[in-house]
Amino acid sequence: MADARYVNVEELARPGMKDDFYGETLAEVVTELVSRGALRGKSVRGKTSVLDDEALRRVVQLGIEPLVYQQQGWSFVAVEAQMDRVLEVVRDVLAPVEVRQDVKVHRMGKGRGGPPPAGVRPLYLVKARASDWPVLVIRVHWYTPADYDLAEEVAREASTRLKTRAVAAFYDDVSDSFAQEWRGGKPVEEWSSHEGYLGFYLKFYERGIAAPSSWTSVWDGEYAFMSETPDAIERVDYVAIAEGEKKEAPAAAPAGQAAGGPETAKTAEDLLRQFARAAGAPVAKSPARKRTKSRPKKRKPK
């Protein structure tokens, strides 16, 4: 191993993501994985360094932070199975009004064109190249309790039919981030951020789950999928489910607004954000530190 190259964990960066938060989280996660023997590392001048090998290069692409960081709320379900088999379960459980496979992944920025279709809500089944767990993105930013119900229902059914593991997770800007693993239709492990974010995020790395940057926008009158890291994504399927009565949308953002991330994307969430600002309501930009340990209220299986 004379040519082995070791990297200081404090120098790690997540491909395509610029915020220091990602590097800081990776440093903590990788240090913990080195201590467990999952990655090869050593101490250099009193600091942890890790072997720059294929295992490390995969780890820096795992985790759920690209999907959930700086979101006021979110909900998703990850299933350890082939993409097409997961889509079959999603079709049966959610009875979508439209499904489009392998849709285009736009780089994060402004959408274009008219308003999105009325009466439907876009979900996305996202397969990262680094993971064997397709992720059904149910909600990003504007969470409602029904979002976790959908995640749990899909997780329970997928784990039963596919005889595999599934993880349903959510955050609602009030309680702790929460996740529940299902196996064979039964809940087997749950965890939350009550004891700290490192332990919460680490569970997803341990399972090999990757939830890439994902955002819903509009492109020429149709819902479109956007990401900060299109190259990290192998495939995205669009799944539209029926939604309740559509309310009139507030005015669009002022012309000339800078393009960039979720703040500037033309999305249904963006319109809600503009409405909240017009009404004088505060809009959270990053998850607050949690106050109480809680978990979603359970409902009876159908």
Is pLDDT at 285 greater than 70 in this prediction?
Answer: no
Q: What is the pTM of this model?
A: 0.79
Query: What is the rounded CA–CA span in Å between residue 167 and residue 190?
Result: 9
Which is higher by pLDDT, 21 or 187? 187
Q: DSSP letters along 112-171, please?
A: BSSPPPTTEEEEEEEEETT-S--EEEEEESS--HHHHHHHHHHHHHHHHHTTSEEEEEEE
pLDDT confidence of residue 244 = 63
Q: Which two tokens stand for residue 125?
A: 């089944």
Interval 60-97: pLDDT, tens: 999 999 999 888 899 999 999 999 999 999 999 999 99
Is pLDDT at 288 greater than 60 in this prediction?
Answer: no
Interval 94-145: pLDDT, tens: 999 999 999 999 999 888 888 888 899 999 999 999 999 999 999 998 778 8
Contact 125, 93 (CB under 8 A): no
Q: Which residue has the tokens 């397709």?
A: 134
SS3 label, residue 44 = strand
Q: Say how many C-beta atoms besides its own lie within 10 A of residue 181's C-beta.
A: 21
pLDDT cut 70: percent of the chain above it: 79
For residue 54, what is the enclosing H or E element? helix 54-59
Residue 233: what are its φ and ψ, rounded to 5°? -110, 130
Interval 202-234: pLDDT, tens: 999 999 999 999 999 999 889 999 999 999 999
- 94 Cβ partners below 8 Å, 6+ apart? 123, 150, 154, 239, 241
Residue 100: what are its φ and ψ, rounded to 5°? -130, 120
Query: What is the rounded CA–CA span in Å between residue 256 and residue 233?
Result: 30
- Pick from 72, 140, 110, 75: nearest CA to 282: 72
Q: Say how many C-beta atoms besides its own lie within 10 A of residue 269's C-beta.
A: 18
Interval 264-279: pLDDT, tens: 444 444 444 443 443 3
pLDDT confidence of residue 144 = 82
- Angle at which helices 197-207 and 20-36 cross, to 10°: 70
Would you give the DSSP letter of residue 210?
B
Taking the domains of the chain in order of start, what are their residue ranges?
6-59, 65-242
Interval 180-199: pLDDT, tens: 999 999 999 999 999 888 99
